[in-house]
Chains A and B, each alone.
Chain A
Amino acid sequence: MMELSDLLRNAASDPPPTSIDMERLIAGERVSAVRRRWLAGGGAMVLVVAVTVGVTVAARPLGDASGPTVPSADPCAPYLTFPAGPGTAAPTDTPAEPAPTEPEDVALVRLSAALRDALAATLPDAQFVDPFSPCEPLRFRSGVVDSFRYYAVAGVTDADGFGGIEVMVGDQPTNPAGSWPEHTTLDDGTTVGWSAVEGTRHGADVRQHQVLIERPDGTAIMLIASNYRPPNYEITRQVPPATVEQLIAIGTEPDLTLYP
């Protein structure tokens, strides 16, 4: 007979050294606070500019939808759906995020076009499909994750099989790139952290490449390439569909920013 509290305490004992860098975290928040104050002061002007730019960008063609690769009776049927809201409802007393600098619908269109361009340029032999709407162009969505403002996921098909690439854009890195075990600073001041994750799931080898990019303008971009795809997390390849270098190339696409 074992006591549950003791079991839980034992399970969480001996934690490894933390990767949380308190000084970096505080310094990052100082920068964010300055930026928020500046944005609050110049918000109206930014809004006018953003709307003007947004109207121009929205007029651009969205590009062709990638062909669906889903073995489904209806090729346009989504094979990923968002979980229902009530089951994942968050506690209510949570802090408000800073106001967006650009209308959300404008940012979604602009960023989606930038992502499609970056994916096509970096992985020219791959096909990309939006698992939420397989017959429509890949696009960002908001409200999927809390720590990043915009989220996109692409099912990837190439000569090696299926895989996935997630891209998240926000202004608040979950763990600053500079605190990642592998990181570097590019010439323009962009900080890049990366990691290769290996593990098993139901006996299968699962691999991910993860990259976090922090631009000097404050934009944070998280990219994750996985060697599996939903809904059954089928593994058809040994390695993710993009290398760390390719993820960095995608994430450093100049237009992939919150502050155009």
Chain B
Amino acid sequence: LAPDEAGFREFVSIRLDGLRRTAYLLCADWHTADDLVSVALVKLLRHWRRVSSMDNPDAYVRRILLRAWLDERRRPWRREHATALPPETAAARDDPESRLEIMDRLADLPPRRRAVLVLRFFCDLSVAETATLLGVSEGTVKSQTARALDTLRSSWDITVLGE
């Protein structure tokens, strides 16, 4: 297993930070984000031999991460749960108000729309890549994106590149 582990370590060391940030934007809590990433990494390691030979292992990891997050939300008792007093707020730097506000706005979105925004505008995935990842059509991704942006724009003056 050692050669596999070496490859796994290298793969993860490069992507860990990005995975944590993606998870945080989905779940809005750094502790939960680490839990979600841990779930994804365990599954990734378990299937590393197969995944490492894939053309796009990043898509595989993101898919597991998304599934872990959606699964977390499925837990009935926790669907509305406490946001742990976030130590990260103490580290807020340049614009803490907009930082918290965007997280609040994201939290108001249904999970799939939130995922679409994070994948497209944080992970910089294309419509096609996002559709593949979520297992929906490109048309659905476009409509979900439009609705999510409409929701954000109802209370915020934002723009997106390429519009």
Contact = CB atoms under 8 A, between A and B. Distances in A.
A83 B93 contact: no
Contact of A1 (B60, B102, B157): B157
Contact of A3 (B16, B35, B159): B159
A20 B160 contact: no
B21 A12 contact: yes
Given A22-B12, A29-B45, A90-B67, A1 B34 contact: no
A30 B1 contact: yes
A257 interface: no
A54 to B, nearest CB: 27
Contacts of A64: none
B84 interface: yes
Nearest to A19: B34
Contact of A16 (B1, B66, B83, B87): B87
A174 interface: yes
Contacts of A29: 42, 45-46
A88 B74 contact: yes
B83 A201 contact: yes
B91 A94 contact: no
B102 A7 contact: yes
For the side of the interface on A, what is the size category? 35 or more
Contacts of B77: 80, 153, 164, 166, 224, 226, 230
B122 A9 contact: yes
Most B CB contacts (10 A, CB to CB) among A8, A15, A224 go to A8
Contacts of A224: 77-78
B84 A8 contact: no
B104 to A, nearest CB: 10
Contact of A19 (B31, B85, B94, B161): B31
A90 B71 contact: yes
A16 B88 contact: yes
A12 B118 CA distance: 11
B113 interface: no
B98 A10 contact: yes
Contact of A233 (B74, B80, B93, B117): B80
Contact of B63 (A18, A91, A198, A200): A91
A50 B30 CA distance: 40
Nearest to B21: A12
B159 A2 contact: yes
Given A8-B118, A91-B67, A15 B21 contact: yes
B136 to A, nearest CB: 10
A38 to B, nearest CB: 16
A26 interface: yes
Contacts of B141: none
30 contacts: A1-B159, A2-B158, A3-B158, A4-B149, A5-B124, A14-B88, A15-B20, A15-B21, A15-B88, A18-B20, A18-B37, A22-B9, A26-B5, A29-B45, A29-B46, A80-B77, A91-B63, A91-B135, A95-B46, A95-B64, A145-B71, A164-B77, A172-B42, A198-B85, A199-B83, A200-B83, A201-B82, A201-B83, A208-B82, A226-B77
